[in-house]
Amino acid sequence: MKHRLIYLVPFVMSMALPVAMAAEGGATKDEAVSMVKKGVAYIKSQPHEKAYADFSDKDNKTWHSKDLYLVVYAMDGTVRAHGANAKMIGKNLIELKDVDGKAFVKERVELAKSHNSFWQDYKFTNPETKKIEPKAMYCERLDDSVVCGGIYK
């Protein structure tokens, strides 16, 4: 019986983690993937500038859920949409580094050149807590851009 419990405890804990994250108000990995896929489809169906404006509008609840929002970069690192900070739109952030010195935008663009979709880890300010926290960003390449949405860990 003890041997069975050894295997059961990690399984139960792994099942509880996504529920706990949702209870704390943070988005889940599945929600990030879903929003990015929905965002990619939206860009394909709308004039790009309209889609980018909608993603960047903090009052648009379709593109903002909990601490989840979309960011779109051109392949040179220029921000096309930013759900947490519209002041970033039009700025080239290719050299932007997180608190650990990781050039995460440069890395993101490089990953997008060789992968249609990927996850990326770095640290960023959570718009809900205003604290720098570990973040996992899910991204998909779309033509000459990369569309991303992430979760705080």
DSSP string, the chain: -HHHHHHHHHHHHHHHHHHHHHHTTPPPHHHHHHHHHHHHHHHHHS-HHHHHHHHH-TT-TTSEETTEEEEEEETTSBEEEESS-GGGTT-B-TT---TT---HHHHHHHHHHH-SEEEEEEEEE-TTT-SEEEEEEEEEEETTEEEEEEEE-
Per-residue pLDDT of the chain (153 residues; tens, 9 = 90+): 444 433 333 333 333 333 334 326 789 999 999 999 999 999 999 999 999 999 999 999 999 998 899 999 999 999 999 999 999 999 999 999 999 999 999 999 999 999 999 999 999 888 788 899 999 999 999 999 999 999 998
Six token digits for residue 12: 């139960």
Across 112-129, b (16+ Cβ under 10 Å) vs e yields beeeebbbbebbbbbeee
CATH, range 22-152: 3.30.450.20
Rounded to whole angstroms, the Cα distance separating 35 from 147 reads: 10
The pTM of this model reads 0.82
